Each structure stands twice: as structure tokens, then as C-alpha cells.
């Protein structure tokens, strides 16, 4: 091999490092790495046999010895800026070295520096490099735009220039979007695009979704809860303060009661089916809707891990639920006998069994209050705040029954079928189902106090 060109010492010649992502060698018989000057000499001997045999490269490459590259002449196809340097190639190259099919016969392994030189000096396009070396466009982009290499030939993440488009959403812009979206209940209902319009920001839906998701915000279906006025919250908070020291065993001495309505064909939430395109109108893929939804009203009560007899309200014969009908068909024939049974069997810790009911007009009527006084239950009525179904465990029983009925297939489609199904599901309630709800009262009170009388997760 010839000596280093004039002006360059042997120590300054950089050998081309083997890249970690090296592609297949074009000639399997030649896999050794070759430094830059050896490659120029090999190219001269192989493709220019009439060159100076003395090894002085300056005769064939007159610009090589002066450390310049004649890229601007009419015979060159290189870039117009001769100041472009490749980090590991010290001596610039005459463009003919990197053009044509010369690279197809390179007797050494392809390195990152080879690809960088072909791109910067030979002006090879990305598709040409990909077709020639079998490297993906993303990998080629990383190789060509790497700024510096470490001692082992790898490039650290901190040394690489950031690729891709710079972010357009700053922290201040993100804070403005979130503050606007959460400013009020009305703003929370606005889609992301309208929130951005109010702030004068132009961003696409996907970009806006990423902005909000980065801060933990998502678009979700709003839960339905009873409206709570300021006075209602205050009364709920005061009620929670009265019972904050009750333990789970104390709450076991309460009978929880309520009415609930079941409808034929009732559907709660979104129903998902598995089907092929075009099969949306097949019978198995439809949710039936009835022109007239028949409703069945029921009354029930729970205590500790027990349940009372379920009363199916006979609307054609009894009429609406009023104070009078409630006393004649619920309080006297069902509630009072069950309350006496619990007292007589000793199913109490404090010696008393309290009775809870909501503030429905039928429950607060004078007739109902007189009946409680007559039966000796008026002293055991638990005070109850308005608009507080989340504090009553029996609401969870109704949700459980409806969910189990909806999971039936086929579901009841007539009033008689629904009547039978409700009774079956009530009988199937286990003591564990009931106790899991009645034992949750301390957690409900804690959640109520934490929200100062506001809504809870129950």
C-alpha cells in the first residue's frame, strides 16, 4: 500500500469503523476493513490502470494533495458546497470515486462512513441507498444524520440530532387548553376541537387528544346522578356527621327498603355483538325495542345478610303507590311482620332494629306516619337526607337484579315472563350479595364526608 498523501501523517488517517448495523458484504471473499487512502489507491489501480505507478495520488487526483475537492467542475456530479465534511473521512474525495457502479465491487464491509460519503459527496438518493445496501429508510436517516460517534462506533441518544418535526405544543399551550376544558361543567362537555377554537389554537383532533391524554384527561360518558343543590349538600354533610362513628356492626341493625321499576325490553348501556359486515339486521344481532314498555313496580327490604319478601305491586287492582296503598299493601302485611321477626330472633347488636326509607311523598304522608306511630315503629325510623340513593345499600341490589336479567338469553318479552324472572332473581340473591352491600356503609359515610355532602362513587 502507498504512503499517506502529502500533508497527512499516518496517525491522522482514520480507519473506517465497522458499523453495528453492517449489511451483507458484496464480496464474501473480502471482508477486511480498508482505510480511506488504501481505498483510493485500490480504486486507482483497478479502474485507472494508466495512472502513476509510483503511488502518488496527487497525479490522478490533483486536488487530493491540497486537501480540496474539485466538485464544481463540469465533469463532477457532486454537491456544490465543498466545505461539507464527513466526520470520519479526513481527506476529501474526487467525486468519480463514489459514482457509477464502482461501489458494487468494493472489497470491504460497508460502514456508516461509506453511506455518509455516498449521500453527502456522491449525492446518492435514499431509494438508491436502500436498494443498494438493503437498509430501511429510517435506519439510513439515522446513519446519515448522525453528528458524532463514540469510541466504539455507536452513537448515543444525547449525541444525535433530534429527528422529525419539532413539537408545536408547548407546556404553556397545554396548560391553557386544559384550563379552558375544565373551567366549567359546560366547557367539560365541549369536544377538544371547540376548546382549541376558544383558545385560538389550530390543532388536529389526534394532536389534541394526545395533548389531553398526556395530562391524564380523556373523553368519557358522564355518569347520571341526582341533582344536588347547595342546601341538599349541607344536609347530606350534616347527616354524615351524625353517623360518622357508626361501625359496620352498627349498620347491621338497619332495615333498608325501597321501590324499584322493571320494564319489559329494558336495555342499559351499549350492547356489543359479534357479526360480519352486512349482518346488522339479523335477528341475533338486534336489540328488540317494544312500542309499549310494560313496567312492573316492586318493593323489597334487606337487613344484614337477609332479605324480606318481595312485593310485586299490582297496579291494576291497587292503583298508584300512595300513603294509603303503601300502608295497606306494604307496611302492615310485609314490613311490620318482618321487623317483629328480626326483633324476636335476636338479629340485632344494639337491641333495636331501625327502619330506613327515602323521602318519597307516600312515605312522608300523614297516613303513613300515623301507621308507624300505631305499630310502634316511629321511634325506629332512621333520618334520611333528600337525594341520597348513593347512601342506601339496597340500590345496589336493584342494579344487581337488573344486570342479571339483562344477561339472560333470551330475555323476558312479556309481563308474565318478567314477573316470574324478577321473583326468581330475588330468590337467587345470596347472603354474600346482601352483606357485601350492607357492610359498605362506613365507606359510604367516609366518602360523603370527604366530598362535603357531594356526590360519591356509590
pLDDT value at residue 38: 57
Average of pLDDT values for 356-369?
93
pTM (whole model) above 0.95: no
Phi and psi at 125, nearest 5°, equal -80, 165
CB 319 within 8 A of CB 325: yes
pLDDT value at residue 349: 79
**DSSP assigned state of 220:** -
Among 280-289, 323-332, 400-409, which stretch is predicted with the lowest mean pLDDT?
280-289
**DSSP assigned state of 380:** G
List residues bridging with 297 in a β-sheet.
261
How does strand 254-263 pair with strand 354-356?
parallel
Average of pLDDT values for 182-188?
90
Of all residues in the chain, the percent with pLDDT exceeding 70 is 70
Would the pLDDT of 68 be above 60? Answer: no
Of all residues in the chain, the percent with pLDDT exceeding 90 is 42
CA angle 434, 352, 234 (to 5 degrees): 75
Would the pLDDT of 427 be above 90? Answer: yes
pLDDT value at residue 123: 81
pLDDT value at residue 110: 60
pLDDT tier at 433, thresholds 50, 70, 90: very high
Among 23-37, 99-113, 197-211, 304-318, which stretch is predicted with the lowest mean pLDDT?
23-37
Higher pLDDT, 426 or 159: 426
pLDDT tier at 284, thresholds 50, 70, 90: confident
Instruction: Dump pLDDT digits (tens) for 154-171.
Output: 444 444 455 556 556 888
Positions of E strands within 291-435: 295-303, 306-307, 311-312, 354-356
Instruction: Dump pLDDT digits (tens) for 22-58.
Output: 333 343 344 344 445 555 555 555 544 443 433 333 3
**Average pLDDT of the chain?**
76
Q: Could you tell me which of 312, 225, 308 has the C-alpha nearest to residue 262?
A: 312
Would the pLDDT of 104 be above 60? Answer: no
pLDDT value at residue 454: 93
- Coil, strand, or helix at residue 242? helix
Q: How far apart are CA 176 and CA 184, in angstroms?
A: 14
pLDDT value at residue 286: 82
pLDDT value at residue 43: 52
pLDDT tier at 399, thresholds 50, 70, 90: very high
Would the pLDDT of 9 be above 60? Answer: no
Would the pLDDT of 428 be above 90? Answer: yes
pLDDT value at residue 42: 56
pLDDT value at residue 445: 96
**H or E element, residue 423:** helix 415-427
Higher pLDDT, 106 or 452: 452
Among 202-211, 309-318, 342-351, 443-452, which stretch is predicted with the lowest mean pLDDT?
342-351
Amino acid at each position: 500500500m502507498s504512503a499517506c498523501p502529502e500533508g497527512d501523517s499516518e496517525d491522522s488517517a482514520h480507519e473506517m469503523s465497522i458499523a453495528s448495523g453492517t449489511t451483507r458484504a458484496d464480496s464474501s471473499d473480502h471482508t477486511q476493513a480498508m482505510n480511506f487512502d488504501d481505498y483510493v489507491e485500490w480504486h486507482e489501480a483497478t479502474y485507472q490502470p494508466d495512472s502513476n505507478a509510483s503511488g502518488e495520488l496527487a497525479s490522478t487526483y490533483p486536488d487530493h494533495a491540497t486537501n480540496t475537492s474539485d466538485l464544481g467542475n463540469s465533469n463532477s456530479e457532486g454537491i456544490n458546497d465543498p466545505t461539507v465534511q464527513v466526520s470520519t473521512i479526513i481527506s476529501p474525495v474526487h467525486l468519480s470515486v463514489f459514482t457509477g457502479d464502482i461501489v458494487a465491487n468494493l472489497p470491504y464491509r460497508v460502514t456508516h462512513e461509506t453511506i455518509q460519503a455516498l449521500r453527502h459527496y456522491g449525492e446518492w438518493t435514499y431509494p438508491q441507498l436502500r436498494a443498494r445496501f438493503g437498509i430501511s429508510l429510517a435506519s439510513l436517516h439515522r446513519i446519515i444524520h448522525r453528528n458524532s460517534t463514540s469510541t466504539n462506533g455507536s452513537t448515543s441518544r444525547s449525541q444525535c440530532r433530534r429527528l422529525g418535526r419539532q413539537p408545536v405544543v408547548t407546556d404553556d399551550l397545554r396548560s391553557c387548553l386544559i384550563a379552558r376544558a375544565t373551567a366549567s361543567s359546560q366547557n367539560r362537555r365541549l369536544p377538544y376541537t371547540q376548546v382549541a377554537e376558544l383558545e385560538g389554537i389550530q390543532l388536529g383532533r389526534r394532536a389534541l387528544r394526545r395533548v389531553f391524554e398526556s395530562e391524564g384527561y380523556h373523553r368519557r360518558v358522564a355518569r347520571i346522578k341526582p341533582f344536588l343543590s347547595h342546601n341538599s349538600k349541607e344536609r347530606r354533610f350534616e347527616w354524615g356527621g351524625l353517623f360518622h362513628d357508626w361501625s359496620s356492626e352498627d349498620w347491621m341493625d338497619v332495615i333498608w327498603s325501597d321501590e324499584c321499576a322493571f320494564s319489559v325490553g329494558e336495555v342499559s348501556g351499549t350492547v356489543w355483538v359479534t357479526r360480519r359486515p352486512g349482518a346488522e339486521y339479523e335477528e341475533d344481532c338486534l336489540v328488540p325495542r317494544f312500542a309499549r314498555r310494560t313496567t312492573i313496580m316492586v318493593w323489597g327490604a334487606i337487613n344484614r345478610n337477609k332479605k324480606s319478601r318481595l312485593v310485586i305491586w299490582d297496579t291494576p287492582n291497587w292503583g298508584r303507590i300512595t300513603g294509603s296503598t303503601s300502608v295497606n299493601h306494604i307496611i302492615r302485611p310485609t314490613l311490620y311482620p318482618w321487623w317483629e321477626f328480626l326483633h324476636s330472633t335476636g338479629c340485632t347488636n344494639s337491641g333495636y332494629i331501625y327502619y330506613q326509607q327515602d323521602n318519597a311523598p307516600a312515605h312522608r304522608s300523614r297516613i303513613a306516619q300515623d301507621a308507624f306511630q300505631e305499630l310502634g315503629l316511629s321511634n325506629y325510623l332512621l333520618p334520611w337526607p333528600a337525594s341520597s340513593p348513593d347512601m342506601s345499600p339496597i340500590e345496589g341490589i336493584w342494579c344487581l337484579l337488573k344486570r342479571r336479567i339483562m344477561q339472560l338469553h333470551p330475555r323476558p318479552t312479556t309481563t308474565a315472563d318478567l314477573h316470574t324472572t324478577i321473583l326468581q332473581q330475588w330468590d337467587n340473591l345470596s347472603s354474600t350479595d346482601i352483606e357485601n352491600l350492607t357492610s359498605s356503609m362506613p365507606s359510604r359515610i367516609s366518602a360523603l364526608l370527604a366530598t362535603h355532602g357531594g356526590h360519591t362513587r356509590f
